[in-house]
Amino acid sequence: MNFKMKILMLLFLLILSMSCIPKTNAFWIILTSPDLDYHFSFPTLYQGDEAHVNVTVISNYDKEIVIKWVGLRFDWMTEWSQKDLSSNPIALNKSDIVDFGRFDFQIPSDITVGNHTLTIRIEYGVFIDEVFNVPTGIVISGEPVETVDVYVGWYSCLPQYKSYTFEIHSIREKQYYELKPTVFQQLTKAIEESYLSGGAKSLLQQAISKYNEATSLAEQKKWSEAYELMQLTQSLLNRIPSEEKNFIILLSGSICGLVVVIGLVIYLLKKR
């Protein structure tokens, strides 16, 4: 290979190394985007939750690839949560699976309820072990140089992105479902009791009514109103024991007073 041809080769490789994807069709590296799998640590995510994502990469490419960087970003984040592997990249052959572990994150307590986006990004390289015959269209010393053989080696590819849509639920929804089982147990127990007090009976009827209203609002996904009514239901149920106790004390006092009066009347009648 003469000197001009060597210079041409070096220039060609320099241009190639500066490109993220080759501009020549013969060098165009088409990778099936590595499959990205993920899962959340909670089946349902709420405002203010602490959670994590596990990222797994499955290579669908025929050749060996190396993962150099993995990151994720939720739509409320300004920076990537990342794992930089450039100093010790992870190699994958076709169908290999690698788990990059967990990425912890905090959902803001004031985040809007509804759909949000998670974007996962990976940076990787591939080893091309073939010699390509590349057209140049260059003329040297009056003679066209139609092709040049180039050996590529390790090559960095464009980053791959995958986005996922998921739903963030209201913190009131979480609080509603946490409170509901306790209130239901209290309500069931109260219904099984036989109260003497009219006040206790009235409180129980109010509690039943508010509980039904709360469950109806929950079906309509009106979580703030549903949670407030569930709290009110519990408050009404909590008042029943003291209402019944006060009635029993009052009733006992009345009975005692009546007994005293009857005893006094009997005593006076006997003295006559």
Long-range CB contacts (within 8 A, 24+) of 81-89: 81/105, 89/124, 89/125
pLDDT, greater one: 208 or 21? 208
Residue with tokens 């003497």: 196
Q: Tell me the average pLDDT across 157-176.
A: 86
Most confident of 60-64, 80-84, 133-137, 174-178: 174-178
Q: What is the structure's pLDDT at 127? A: 64
pLDDT, greater one: 86 or 39? 86
Structure tokens at 183: 């209130």
Q: Tell me the average pLDDT across 6-27.
A: 37
Statement: residue 246 has pLDDT above 90:
no
The rounded mean pLDDT for the chain is 74
Handedness of CA 261, 266, 271, 272 (dihedral sign): positive
Indicate whether this model's pTM tops 0.75.
no
Q: What is the structure's pLDDT at 139? A: 46
Nearest to 53 by CA among 76, 32, 36: 36
One-letter-per-residue 3-state SS of the chain: CCHHHHHHHHHHHHHHHHCCCCCCHHHCCCCCCCEEEEEECCCCEECCCEEEEEEEEECCCCCCEEEEEEEEEECCCCCCEEEECCCCCEEECCCCEEEEEEEEEECCCCCCCEEEEEEEEEEEEEEEEEEEEEEEEEEECCEEEEEEEEEEEEEECCCEEEEEEEEEECHHHHHHHHHHHHHHHHHHHHHHCCCCCHHHHHHHHHHHHHHHHHHHHHHCCCHHHHHHHHHHHHHHHHHHHHHHHHHHHHHHHHHHHHHHHHHHHHHHHHHC
Residue 270 main-chain phi, psi, to 5 deg: -70, -30
Statement: residue 67 has pLDDT above 60:
yes
Cα dihedral 12/14/16/17 (nearest 10): 160
Angle at alpha carbon of residue 261, lines to 258 and 262, rounded to 5°: 85
Statement: residue 261 has pLDDT above 70:
no
Statement: residue 72 has pLDDT above 60:
yes
Report the range of poorest mean pLDDT among 52-66, 106-120, 182-196: 52-66
Percent of the chain with pLDDT over 90: 32
Nearest to 57 by CA among 142, 130, 123: 123
Superfamily (CATH) of domain 3-169: Immunoglobulins (2.60.40.10)
Band of residue 11 on the pLDDT scale cut at 50, 70, 90? very low
Q: Tell me the average pLDDT across 218-243.
A: 94
Domain ranges across the chain: 3-169, 171-271
Statement: residue 221 has pLDDT above 50:
yes
* 177-209 pLDDT, tens digit each: 999 999 999 999 999 988 888 888 899 999 999
Statement: residue 51 has pLDDT above 60:
yes
Q: Tell me the average pLDDT across 105-114.
A: 93
Statement: residue 233 has pLDDT above 80:
yes
* 120-159 pLDDT, tens digit each: 888 887 766 555 554 445 444 455 545 555 445 555 666 7
8 Å CB contact between 194 and 175: no
pLDDT, greater one: 23 or 97? 97
Residue 86 main-chain phi, psi, to 5 deg: -60, -30
